[in-house]
Structure 1
Amino acid sequence: MKPFLKALAPIAIGFALFAQPAKAETPPNMLVVGFSMNNILTLDPAAITGKETVQVLTNIYDNLVSLDAVTRSQVNPQIAESWTVSADNTAITFKLRTGATFASGNPVTSADVVWSLKRLMKLNLAQASFLKTHGFSAANADASFTAPDGHTVVITLPKKVDPQIIIQTLGIVGPGSILDSKAVQEHDKGGDMGTAWLTTNSAGSGPFMLGQWQSNERVTLEQNPKYWGEKPAMRRIMMRHLAESQSQRLMLEKGDIDIAYSMSAADLKALEANKDVTVQTNGGSGFYYLAVSMKDEKFQNPKVREALRYLIDYQGLNDSVLPYFGKLRDRPIPNGIFGALPDAGYRLDVAKAKALLAEAGYPDGFSTTLRAISDVPFMNAATAIQATLAQGGIKAEIITGSGDQIYGAMRERKYELLVGRGGGGQLPHPDSNLRAIVYNPDNADQAKLTNFQGWRTSFYDEKINRMIDEALVETDKDKQVREYQDIQTYYEQMVPAIQPFSEVVDSVAYSADIKGLQLNPSWSTQLRTVTKER
């Protein structure tokens, strides 16, 4: 190197280092979240579907109670300071806290709670199913929900049921969300009880209120100055639509976002090596499963269904496809819920599967279709299952599409095989899983019981319906546990239409200087507790 170039080299290097852009940083009082908005169609708590909308609304609306993020069986006070169950288990009385107001400034009263619950049942939209399952209806709403005074709510159970599951249901965003009845009724259009207005507006008492929603772009939440609880550290939350995991990863690494909700296992694994990022994994809701349609003659044969049970590589799927998304589980009740039995221990056993197929009259296997959402991790799981089915002689053509297309086919009962996710679980109660995954009170096509995955699969078993109903109303807790264990044993013996291979876990990546974030299994992760140490 020439002398004058050698002398300039340190200067050039120093200039290059100085010229490199510093890592971006979000404002200290604003939280920027990356997630997918593909399934956000409305912000009306009575009509929502999918966890992404819950992730938004949990920061806007309060419930009577909340479900604990860590201790799954624990129910915490929220708008209700306390509650009692009558001696005969037919009524629940809630006492409301004083001084709570909605974002409008209107006080939160028992009349608002009762109006919100009656509205839910009378509109009969998606979230009403949680209470309809237990006998609540538009017809009995006036008798079921009453307010003896401004701070007391009495819920009278329309049929015999475990009161604890009703209390837990009221902790779910949607059926338990409390609306500002005065504000909503001011925007009633033609008797719609504010449905059109609530699609893009909010009327809650939570720590934040809706600022703006731009479909498939962003949701902005503004701090609620009238919030009754401890003031959140964040003045604003911006939730950005970033459907691609790699986009979320790059923006998190650059400091353009603080939290990434929707990421692939590969990106999460890579981020675990980054000292500036924290990855948190916590129990989720529901299962990943392989479902058959009982409308297909082949799958009506229990030997065929049992063969499929042994053509799933449970350990391999969970080790290679589902890290950060699922944890091996082959029973219909997740670990940590009372009454859950240990795993049955199913494993990939091609020889056993082939023998069962031969007994069923399919010694050479058969051809079928396997549906899966085109998103992670469904496609990877479907591809892995396609490969193990082929080992047993079953040639499965994969059909992919959006959630509406794939689950739409399931809701219409027009499919053969399907890799899905579901099975309840938002409630920390075995009934939540069993009623979602196998219960089917009416198998007729015209029943349209689309919220029951048992109905979607066309699987009907009168005995298991009866066992689920009886276990729910059993008041002796030890006997109730034994009854739920008996249901799982019977589930194994009858080989139903849905075989779980993993229980859902949720994972989130966030900047290491973010503190106070705790994923909630019911999807209702609170952002009011989040701070930034900068």
Structure 2
Amino acid sequence: MRHLFASVALAALFCGATPVATLAETPDDQLIVATVMSNILTLDPAAITGRETVQVLNNIYDTLVVLSPDDRDLHPRLAESWEISPDRMKITFRLRPDAVFASGNPVTAQDVVFSLKRLLTLNLAQSSFLKSRGYTAEAADRLFVAQDDHTFVLNLPEPDDPKLILMVLAQNGPGSILDSKTVLENEQGGDLGAKWLTLNSAGSGPFTLTRWASNEYIILSRNDDYWGEVPAMKRVLMRHLPESQSQRLMLEQGDIDVGYSLLAPDLKALESNDRIRIESTPGAGFYYLAVSMKDPRFADRKVREALRLLIDYDGLDKAVMPYYGKLYQRPITTGALGQLPDPGYKLDVEKAKALLAEAGYPDGFKTTLRVLSEEPFLKAGTAIQNTLAQAGIQAELITGSGDQIYGAMRDRNFELLVGRGGGGQQPHPDSNLRALAFNPDNSDEAKLTNYQGWRTSFFDEKLNGMIEDALLERDLETQKKKYEDIQAYMDQSVMSILPFSETVDTAAFQADVQGLTVNPWLTRFEVVTKER
């Protein structure tokens, strides 16, 4: 409860009021958000990790384009228009002439060049998004070109789908545009402002960073000189409040406006409160059962097919996954090009037993099943352990932290694992397929740990070629058909990753809060209002 009382006191200070035990209502022009900030280690766009930090940056930095939270289509932001060249090797952006940074400096094409070159030069976490598309610091001068103050040209280093590149640039982190003058004024020892940007901001967004106290709170203040529509909220207080019950209590008492990190029991308890709204939206990635194909048992397609029939999809969806995920069996994100309907797999123990017998395991076998020791992974893993046992597969549960469980997967030292992942930050099929299935080099020495195909020792040269071919297809309808064919092929092949639920993002918030986007990758508080 220590965090609860600290949060109430801070909220009172934030509002300019005397601290009291409870607050009946938050201020009309200030948004108080509870979340978990354990993964927020820096606010430098080049170095951030995790969706919680992207959620912060979405409000203080602009990108050239944005993804709409409604349909995930691309919309203008700092670039009022863009044009893809006929050979699809160049994208020309026309910048808004009225855009300015919080410092008052104008946003120019030179700032865009600086931001992208800085990203690759520092070679920190967010650079991987561009590096995976072939961009390098050595080629930056040729690939990033300012034709004039308001015309930026992005050259592609290799054939690709320009729409996917645009989706990458729509994400804060790889796509954040920084005020080059302000950053360089605060450079220390040639660090391109890295130390200063850890605790400060140099963006053109609707809010500016006022203060960040690690694992305590972040205060954002309205940028009254913002080039777009000025937000209704004067300030946003984002509070580190990891305990779900504390978030629930503070929502019930009116001390916070939004809770982003509540667990299922507390969300369920809030459903009957007519002053609180609960909303779930599709997130990024999937919950899945993974196998290591280094194990000869799981390298057998019949065994993988049996495992696919030993997941109680409906039972998990109803009893374990509410607020965390939604029943889903495809490897491509909802709404992405070429998405097929679910194949409709059901728990079928007898058919699974027959397949195991055909594979030479009529009595099943013993194995291990690794799961995170947190919800919903532990409950999902226990449920899958029970259904595996019905066909004679005795799976010993191994629980642990993310480093322990996913670390074993990255080391290719596991048998079965319940996990979450699979791309999807960019709503493009390639984002999912490269994360889940693509594997250009299956050798241990390759250490392609970003590819879950490599982690699970799954290698299919034909599938690799299909994925590359679909990415480069220029005709939209033909490209759509190719992604449909890939899903059919993966279904027939029985992949090493068996999705059973698509991730959803869930938040609880006061009923008078309007315009909130729940998905943290797309959240922008500039459109939030309170109807009182």
SS of residue paired to 1:455 = helix
Q: CA deviation at 1:23?
A: 5.8
Native 8 Å contact 1:292 1:299 kept in 2: yes
Native 8 Å contact 1:65 1:78 kept in 2: yes
Cα displacement string for residues 118-150 of structure 1 (whole angstroms, at most 9, x for unaligned residues): 122222222222222222222322211111101
Native 8 Å contact 1:516 1:529 kept in 2: yes
Cα displacement string for residues 449-504 of structure 1 (whole angstroms, at most 9, x for unaligned residues): 22222222222111111100000110111111111011001101211210111112
**What is the one-letter code of the residue matched to 1:266?**
P
Give matches, 1:227-266, under 5 Å.
Answer: 227-266=226-265
Provide closer, same or farther for how the CA distance between residues 299 and 198 of structure 1 changes in structure 2, counting only shifts above 3 A. Answer: farther
Provide closer, same or farther for how the CA distance between residues 193 and 298 of structure 1 changes in structure 2, counting only shifts above 3 A. Answer: farther
SS of residue paired to 2:92 = strand
- Report what 1:9 is aligned to: none
TM-score (norm 1): 0.92
Provide closer, same or farther for how the CA distance between residues 22 and 262 of structure 1 changes in structure 2, counting only shifts above 3 A. Answer: closer
Native 8 Å contact 1:104 1:203 kept in 2: yes
Does 1:439 find its partner at 2:438? yes
Give matches, 1:327-476, under 5 Å.
Answer: 327-476=326-475
What CA distance in whole angstroms lies between the structure 1 residues aligned with 2:413 and 2:184?
A: 41
**What is the one-letter code of the residue matched to 2:526?**
R
Q: CA deviation at 1:387?
A: 1.4
What CA distance in whole angstroms lies between the structure 2 residues aligned with 1:169 and 1:251?
A: 36
What CA distance in whole angstroms lies between the structure 1 residues aligned with 2:27 and 2:325?
A: 34
Provide closer, same or farther for how the CA distance between residues 347 and 506 of structure 1 changes in structure 2, counting only shifts above 3 A. Answer: same
State which drifts further: 394-403 or 461-470: 394-403
Does 1:482 find its partner at 2:481? yes
- Report what 1:94 is aligned to: 93
Structure 1: give runs of 5+ residues left out of the alignment: 1-20
What CA distance in whole angstroms lies between the structure 1 residues aligned with 2:277 and 2:455?
A: 39
SS of residue paired to 1:465 = helix
- Report what 1:302 is aligned to: 301
SS of residue paired to 1:31 = strand
**What is the one-letter code of the residue matched to 2:423?**
G
State which drifts further: 95-104 or 57-66: 95-104
SS of residue paired to 2:509 = strand
Q: Give the fraction of aligned pairs with identical amino acids, expressed as a percent.
A: 64
- Report what 1:524 is aligned to: 522
- Report what 1:311 is aligned to: 310
Native 8 Å contact 1:264 1:377 kept in 2: no
Cα displacement string for residues 78-125 of structure 1 (whole angstroms, at most 9, x for unaligned residues): 110000111221110000001222222222111111111112222222
What CA distance in whole angstroms lies between the structure 1 residues aligned with 2:173 and 2:355?
A: 44
What CA distance in whole angstroms lies between the structure 1 residues aligned with 2:442 and 2:137?
A: 23
**What is the one-letter code of the residue matched to 1:524?**
L
Q: CA deviation at 1:22?
A: 7.8
Provide closer, same or farther for how the CA distance between residues 514 and 467 of structure 1 changes in structure 2, counting only shifts above 3 A. Answer: same
- Report what 2:77 is aligned to: 78
- Report what 1:279 is aligned to: 278
Native 8 Å contact 1:102 1:180 kept in 2: yes
- Report what 2:5 is aligned to: none
Native 8 Å contact 2:259 2:507 kept in 1: yes
What CA distance in whole angstroms lies between the structure 2 residues aligned with 1:388 and 1:322?
A: 17
- Report what 1:132 is aligned to: 131
Provide closer, same or farther for how the CA distance between residues 203 and 444 of structure 1 changes in structure 2, counting only shifts above 3 A. Answer: farther
- Report what 1:151 is aligned to: 150
What CA distance in whole angstroms lies between the structure 1 residues aligned with 2:57 and 2:332?
A: 27
What CA distance in whole angstroms lies between the structure 2 residues aligned with 1:197 and 1:417?
A: 44
**What is the one-letter code of the residue matched to 2:470?**
A
SS of residue paired to 2:462 = helix
**What is the one-letter code of the residue matched to 1:141?**
A
State which drifts further: 185-194 or 34-43: 185-194
- Report what 1:68 is aligned to: 68
Cα displacement string for residues 402-459 of structure 1 (whole angstroms, at most 9, x for unaligned residues): 3333223322323222211111112121111111111112223333322222222222
Q: CA deviation at 1:386?
A: 1.6
What CA distance in whole angstroms lies between the structure 1 residues aligned with 2:102 and 2:256?
A: 27
State which drifts further: 490-499 or 200-209: 200-209
Which aligned runs of 4 or more in structure 1 are off by greater than 4 angstroms? none
Native 8 Å contact 2:369 2:398 kept in 1: yes
TM-score (norm 2): 0.92
Native 8 Å contact 1:280 1:508 kept in 2: yes
SS of residue paired to 2:526 = coil
What CA distance in whole angstroms lies between the structure 2 residues aligned with 1:405 and 1:30?
A: 40
SS of residue paired to 1:267 = helix
How many residue pairs get aligned? The number is 513
Cα displacement string for residues 228-274 of structure 1 (whole angstroms, at most 9, x for unaligned residues): 11111112211111222222111111111100111222322222211
- Report what 1:494 is aligned to: 493
- Report what 1:55 is aligned to: 55
Native 8 Å contact 2:282 2:334 kept in 1: no
Native 8 Å contact 1:372 1:399 kept in 2: yes
Provide closer, same or farther for how the CA distance between residues 213 and 479 of structure 1 changes in structure 2, counting only shifts above 3 A. Answer: same
What CA distance in whole angstroms lies between the structure 1 residues aligned with 2:477 and 2:205?
A: 38
What CA distance in whole angstroms lies between the structure 2 residues aligned with 1:203 and 1:22?
A: 36
What CA distance in whole angstroms lies between the structure 2 residues aligned with 1:128 and 1:272?
A: 41
Give matches, 1:162-311, under 5 Å.
Answer: 162-311=161-310
Native 8 Å contact 1:332 1:500 kept in 2: yes
Structure index of larger Rg: 1
CA RMSD of aligned residues (A): 1.9
Structure 2: give runs of 5+ residues left out of the alignment: 1-20
SS of residue paired to 2:127 = helix
- Report what 1:106 is aligned to: 105
What CA distance in whole angstroms lies between the structure 2 residues aligned with 1:228 and 1:497?
A: 48
What CA distance in whole angstroms lies between the structure 1 residues aligned with 2:424 and 2:474?
A: 21
What CA distance in whole angstroms lies between the structure 2 residues aligned with 1:100 and 1:296?
A: 56
What CA distance in whole angstroms lies between the structure 2 residues aligned with 1:211 and 1:361?
A: 64
Cα displacement string for residues 375-419 of structure 1 (whole angstroms, at most 9, x for unaligned residues): 322222112112112222222222333333322332232322221
- Report what 1:5 is aligned to: none
What CA distance in whole angstroms lies between the structure 2 residues aligned with 1:171 and 1:131?
A: 12
Does 1:28 find its partner at 2:28? yes
- Report what 1:4 is aligned to: none
SS of residue paired to 1:285 = strand
What CA distance in whole angstroms lies between the structure 2 residues aligned with 1:98 and 1:105?
A: 13
